[in-house]
Structure 1
């Protein structure tokens, strides 16, 4: 955790992985119109990853108004969802793959 925090704090934006991933998320939701992100870990040990990302991302970014209360004319965040392995295999995995 320390090394990625240090990388985020010190790396220039053009090679800063957290910044680039955040910009890809904005690009997908705002410019490409892809409103959802599937988080599909293979390992059952990561079963709490998707709910954690949902809480952090959607609570922070899922606002429909600006900081001054003005309604936004664009999407400010995406819908994050997911389950590990077989938990989601027979539900939404089928929809995604077909």
Structure 2
């Protein structure tokens, strides 16, 4: 994925497109939470990786020049594989009143 990101044009670049979709849903649809749901137990820390990187790096109320931003900075992230998340937040996604965007991820690794 790193090679794909660094060598693919923006209009076909999966990380760029996913980031833009996240910004779109957050700012224009009010979806302040995104669920990252790995299908594979081997990816059980995948959502935590996104939580740390995106919410820490992008969760700012000012821009690079110190000016207050007038848009939503970044969504909150939820994520656990399978039954770990089922009783924690799947109920919110299925029956709650908040809009939560969901991304399913699968691994290419199959032992």
Aligned residues: 95
User: Normalized against structure 2, the TM-score is what?
Assistant: 0.77
2:26 aligned partner: 29
RMSD over aligned CA atoms reads: 1.3
Deviation at 1:91, TM superposition (A): 2.3
5+ long unaligned stretches in structure 1? none
The 1:5/1:90 distance shift into structure 2, 3 A limit, reads: closer
1:66 aligned partner: 63
Structure 1 or 2: more helix by fraction = 1
Deviations 1:41-62 (A, max 9, x none): 2322211111111001111111
2:74 aligned partner: 77
- Between the aligned partners of 2:40 and 2:7, the Cα distance in structure 1 is 31
Structure 1 or 2: more strand by fraction = 2
Deviation at 1:6, TM superposition (A): 2.6
Q: For 1:16, which of 9, 13, 27 is the aligned residue?
A: 13
Are 1:92 and 2:89 counterparts? yes
User: Normalized against structure 1, the TM-score is what?
Assistant: 0.86
